[in-house]
């Protein structure tokens, strides 16, 4: 008998390499396999609109993928939730199949609920995350003995979940005998509350809850800052931790803040969080953000020019999820209008999401004007040949700001500044970026100018 969920999983894998990742996530991944009726795979769409879009645009792709996985199935039928009951009644035999599958899913959910696209291969390493990533790899290779517990902390959207899913995927592949469990602190809390609530009806429910988390080899709890102030759950975590730790099992936590900043948190739990290794993830620098975007574009099978990648990387500095969101919007929009993702297309795609109105776009001229005003020097002198300090420093600052805030080719900046060579531009840019670190006057001037330019 065909296991319909397994079949659909395989079909999904085939489809994912055939279409844009964003379309896959929006239209295909959300379909639910219902049954097989008259040798056709019945899939339920989440809404009427979704149904008609899938029928119109993806039916053929789905069929090609199905035929690659199972040649006995000849077609697909896309339905809405209201039609589901009908199809299930028509084919009783598949109801039985689904009962078996439900058990399968439960088993898999418990031990291997990892997102495939979150792996070490797809994780870009930069200064901001290299320590956390190295620690995660060490733990993946020898769970329970490298660092225990491993505590990863960092701001929202910086890759904590990606890293621990990578650990899960790695262990699942390389040490398949180990039982790895991933859970968010919210789910853990809900299960804990349910187990207590149900204990009147079913006395074994608290016992089951306890056992579930103590029979694993690796326990990962994501976003533990949610445990703040929940004393019952904290107590439960404390005992689970002790049991696992004493038995040499690996424990991994993530949080958006350090243990000492999670308040209120039981002291004995805080010290345990700090027992092993604490690894932080910081905001990535521009270079890393660019590398991440390139990787994401590649994963989406999308060709995006460097200018657009840089444009996005400069727009969002502290949240990779947000940055990825902008990239996806551009990819989606450019495929919708059938044009390649250039700067004008990117602007168009993002016009409702970020502040990039044409009339407010910053130009090199704006930056030069503001710099001249700030230092009370003339336009002729800033672009001229004079080499006195009172002119050279503002000139270098203006050049630095143009390279930092805009995506203008170096040669063009050279042109703007009276036909200077691009090496002169690089020298000016690097000079100021070093000076900012050691010279307070220059640091203040650059920051003042940025403020003025942004808040025109």
For residue 451, the number of C-alpha atoms closer than 13 Å in the C-beta half-sphere is 7
| DSSP one-letter code for 304 | B
Q: Which of 15, 22, 149, 160 binds ligand ADP (CB under 6 A)?
A: 160
Triad 344, 347, 350: Cα angle to 5° = 150
Cβ contacts of 320 within 8 Å, gap of 6 or more? 157, 158, 159, 284, 289, 292
Q: Which of 35, 308, 320, 402 binds ligand ADP (CB under 6 A)?
A: 320
Please report how close the Cβ of residue 436 comes to ligand ADP at its closest, in angstroms: 25
Please report how close the Cβ of residue 389 comes to ligand ADP at its closest, in angstroms: 42
Tracing tokens 């039982």 back to the chain, one arrives at 179
Closest CA to 319 of 129, 156, 107: 156
Which of the ranges 67-75, 226-234, 298-306, 320-328 carries the binding residues for ligand ADP, by CB under 6 A? 320-328
Question: How are strands ordered across the β-sheet holding 180-184?
Answer: 180-184, 218-222, 250-255, 150-154, 277-281
Please report how close the Cβ of residue 165 comes to ligand ADP at its closest, in angstroms: 8
> What is the number of the residue whose Cβ is closest to ligand ADP?
159
DSSP string, 139-200: HHHSTTTSSSSEEEEE-TTSSHHHHHHHHHHHHHHH-TTS-EEEEEHHHHHHHHHHHHHTTT
Number of residues that bind ligand ADP (CB under 6 A): 18
Which of the ranges 102-110, 150-158, 418-426, 431-439 carries the binding residues for ligand ADP, by CB under 6 A? 150-158
Which partner, Mg ion, ligand ADP, none, binds residue 124 by CB below 5 to 8 Å per kind?
ligand ADP
Cα–Cα distance for residue pair 444/448, rounded to 1 Å? 6
As given in the structure block, the two tokens for residue 336 are 């919708």
Helix H or strand E encompassing 349: helix 343-350
Per CB under 6 A, 159 contacts ligand ADP:
yes
Per CB under 6 A, 290 contacts ligand ADP:
no
Q: Based on DSSP, count helices (H) and strands (E) in the chain, helices before strands.
A: 22, 8
Please report how close the Cβ of residue 384 comes to ligand ADP at its closest, in angstroms: 44
Which of the ranges 209-217, 319-327, 357-365, 369-377 carries the binding residues for ligand ADP, by CB under 6 A? 319-327
Which of the ranges 69-77, 122-130, 243-251, 414-422 carries the binding residues for ligand ADP, by CB under 6 A? 122-130
Q: Which of 16, 129, 161, 195 binds Mg ion (CB under 5 A)?
A: 161
Per CB under 6 A, 162 contacts ligand ADP:
yes
Which of the ranges 22-30, 84-92, 159-167, 411-419 carries the binding residues for Mg ion, by CB under 5 A? 159-167
Cβ closest to ligand ADP, residue 212 vs residue 294: 294
Which partner, ligand ADP, Mg ion, none, binds residue 153 by CB below 5 to 8 Å per kind?
none
| DSSP one-letter code for 27 | I
Per CB under 6 A, 324 contacts ligand ADP:
yes
As given in the structure block, the two tokens for residue 116 are 């495939």
Q: Which of 292, 368, 377, 449 binds ligand ADP (CB under 6 A)?
A: 292
Query: What number of other Cβ atoms are within 10 A of residue 178's Cβ?
Result: 16
Where do the DSSP E strands lie in 210-305?
A: 218-222, 250-255, 277-281
Which of the ranges 153-161, 174-182, 234-242, 390-398 carries the binding residues for ligand ADP, by CB under 6 A? 153-161
Per CB under 6 A, 124 contacts ligand ADP:
yes
Which partner, ligand ADP, Mg ion, none, binds residue 157 by CB below 5 to 8 Å per kind?
ligand ADP
Q: Is the distance from CB of 144 to CB of 204 less than 8 angstroms?
A: no
Q: Which of 11, 132, 158, 316 binds ligand ADP (CB under 6 A)?
A: 158
Which partner, Mg ion, ligand ADP, none, binds residue 427 by CB below 5 to 8 Å per kind?
none
Closest CA to 237 of 225, 197, 164: 225
Residue 1: helix, strand or coil by DSSP? coil
Cα–Cα distance for residue pair 79/32, rounded to 1 Å? 10
Cβ closest to Mg ion, residue 87 vs residue 153: 153
Q: Which of 6, 127, 321, 386 binds ligand ADP (CB under 6 A)?
A: 321
Q: Which residues bind ligand ADP (CB under 6 A)?
A: 118, 122-124, 129, 154, 156-162, 292, 295, 320-321, 324
Q: Which residues bind Mg ion (CB under 5 A)?
A: 160-161
């Amino acid at each position: 008998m065909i296991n319909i969920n397994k079949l659909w999983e395989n079909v999904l894998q085939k489809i994912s390499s055939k279409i844009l990742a964003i379309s896959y996530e929006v239209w295909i991944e959300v379909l639910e396999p219902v049954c097989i009726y008259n040798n056709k795979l019945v899939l339920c769409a989440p809404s009427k609109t979704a149904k008609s879009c899938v029928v119109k645009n993806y039916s053929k792709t789905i069929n090609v993928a199905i035929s690659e996985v199972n040649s006995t199935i000849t077609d697909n039928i896309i339905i809405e939730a209201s039609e589901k009951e009908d199809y299930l009644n028509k084919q009783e035999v598949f109801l039985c199949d689904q009962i078996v599958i439900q058990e399968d899913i439960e088993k898999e959910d418990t031990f291997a609920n990892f997102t495939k696209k979150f792996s070490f291969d797809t994780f870009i390493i930069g200064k901001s995350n290299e320590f956390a990533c190295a620690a995660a790899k060490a733990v993946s290779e020898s769970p329970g003995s490298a660092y225990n517990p491993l505590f990863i902390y960092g701001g929202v959207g910086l890759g904590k979940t990606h890293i621990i899913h990578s650990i899960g995927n790695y262990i699942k592949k390389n040490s398949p005998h180990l039982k790895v469990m991933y859970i968010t602190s919210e789910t853990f809390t809900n299960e804990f509350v349910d187990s207590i609530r149900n204990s009147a009806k079913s006395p074994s429910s608290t016992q089951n809850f306890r056992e579930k988390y103590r029979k694993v080899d690796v326990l990962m709890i994501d976003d533990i800052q949610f445990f703040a102030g929940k004393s019952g759950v904290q107590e439960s975590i404390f005992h689970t931790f002790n049991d696992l730790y004493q038995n040499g099992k690996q424990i991994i936590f993530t949080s958006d803040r350090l243990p000492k900043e999670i308040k209120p948190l039981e002291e004995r739990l805080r010290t345990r969080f700090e027992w092993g290794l604490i690894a932080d993830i910081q905001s990535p620098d521009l270079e890393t953000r660019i590398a991440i975007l390139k990787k994401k574009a590649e994963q989406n099978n999308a060709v995006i020019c460097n200018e657009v990648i840089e444009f996005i990387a400069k727009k969002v500095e502290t949240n990779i999820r947000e940055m990825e969101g902008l990239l996806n919007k551009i990819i989606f929009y450019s495929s919708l209008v059938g044009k390649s993702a250039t700067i004008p297309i990117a602007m168009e795609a993002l016009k409702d999401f970020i502040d990039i109105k044409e009339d407010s776009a910053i130009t090199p001229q704006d930056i030069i004007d503001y710099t001249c005003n700030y230092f009370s020097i003339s336009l002729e002198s800033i672009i001229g040949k004079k080499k006195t300090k009172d002119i050279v420093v503002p000139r270098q600052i203006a050049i630095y700001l143009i390279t930092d805030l805009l995506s203008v080719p170096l040669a063009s900046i050279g042109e703007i500044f009276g036909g200077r060579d691009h090496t002169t531009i690089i020298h000016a840019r690097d000079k100021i970026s070093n000076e900012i670190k050691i010279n307070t006057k220059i640091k203040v001037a650059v920051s003042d100018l940025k403020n003025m330019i942004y808040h025109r």
